[in-house]
Amino acid sequence: MNRILITYPLYDFFTDIFLCTVEGCILIELMNRLYGKIQKYRKTAYTLFALAVLSMLVFTHWIFPSYGCTYLVVPASFLLLPFYPGSRRKKALFSFCLATVNLLYLLALNDITNVLPKLSLALFYLLLYHIGLWALLFLCLKLCRQISTDIPLRLLLLLFAIPLCTLVASPILLIFLSSAIDTDRTLSSLLHFVLQLLFLSINLLTFELYRRFSLFTVKETEYALLSSQTRLQEQHYRELEENFKEISSIRHDMKNHFRTAALLYENNQKEELLQYVSDITGKLEETEVLIHTGNSHLDSILNLKLKELKRAGITCVSELAVPSGLILPFSDMVVIFGNLLDNAKAALLSESGADKRLTFSILYQSTSLFIHIENPAPSLTEVPPLGTGLKNVSRTVQKYNGTIEISLHNGNYIANLLLYGVESNKNP
């Protein structure tokens, strides 16, 4: 019996070190998910954290040989914050939440010890504290995600108010319950324990709320950018369509041009004649028609993009079966065909030595529109994440309950789109 009393504090100390080490690893993983991994001075940061925890354990065990104050591990982890990337606002919020969760958990643990029979084993309370805190930290890991986007200040202040209110309310309720039920300490502790669990749940909800607010902010920002891009593209293509119509009328008025040229020649106005012929020739070259479907919107977009591809040295092979009366909003055409062809052009220009060939087809049948684009991409080993343009295409395809499939096959990047419910007032 005497032997147990002599060796137990040392055993308690090393057990406490092991438990705090596990707890520290969980806290580091949690911070990695919240803020991203430490990029610089990682070893220095972890060494500083380990020394701080070890110093506190030695100090507390020296003062309290039978009970280590291991709840200081969470505050000690805040020494790592300057080494982590990310905004100070985000760090301040989650540090405050973790400190509040830690304190509320200690108050709840105190309520449990008031209800349970008195035990002389410090190790029991030590294990109870650590196991419970691990469960809370693992729950935080499950709730949180690594999101780099900052949320607006008004939402951040709203989330700050959650742990602040629970932190203020907890001791007030403890005093109130202690005075209201002064005859039954067990009942008072049970009621306060239930309230602490409620406050803990509310604080843990802060992690999920931040994640959802971040996703909302990302989508809102992305939607604003995509909407702005779409408006600019639509305006640009409408201007091009007007120019296309204007200069196309020149092609149908060649008689007048020949008469004007003949008149200038008869009047021996050679310089004016050369300038006139040069102007008309330039305009006709600008309006060279590579594709003609009869749909002015679709023709203007495709001809513009195919000319850009031609100037970039890219060969296009096309197959079109589209009615001239295709009823598809001009803005949707801009988003789908503009972004798909821009994406293919950028991919082909980035491939050195690859065959600069683009194959695309647009087929219409029974209110369904099928779009296929294929280009060589030998450097790709897997389908890359969708960029801003293709995300906008995907959003537009969803309006028609359609599908978009991106794949790699035999070194080719392939995009297949299928839109349903596309009406037409003419047959292809």
Q: Which domains does the chain have, with CATH numbers?
A: 2-215 (no CATH), 293-428 (3.30.565.10)
CA distances from 202 to 90, 337, 417 (A): 18, 48, 44
Q: What's the predicted TM-score (pTM) here?
A: 0.53
For residue 7, the model assigns a pLDDT of 39
For residue 67, the model assigns a pLDDT of 45
For residue 371, the model assigns a pLDDT of 94
Count Cβ atoms within 10 A of the Cβ of residue 80 and give its class: 0-12 exposed, 13-18 middle, 19 or more buried. Answer: buried
Residue in this structure with the two tokens 């108050």, named with its chain if needed: 107
For residue 138, the model assigns a pLDDT of 87
- Hey, what's the torsion of the CAs at 167, 169, 174, 177, to 10 degrees? -160
Distance from C-alpha of 292 to C-alpha of 113, rounded to nearest angstrom = 83
Distance from C-alpha of 92 to C-alpha of 285, rounded to nearest angstrom = 62
For residue 404, the model assigns a pLDDT of 92
For residue 282, the model assigns a pLDDT of 63
For residue 72, the model assigns a pLDDT of 79
Comparing C-alpha atoms, which of 34, 172, 139 is closest to residue 96? 34
For residue 305, the model assigns a pLDDT of 83
| pLDDT, block means (10 residues), the chain with 428 residues | 41 78 89 84 89 82 57 85 84 88 84 69 73 87 69 84 86 72 68 83 85 80 68 64 65 64 71 73 58 78 82 87 87 86 88 81 91 89 84 88 90 92 75
- What does the block give as tokens for 205? 């909800």
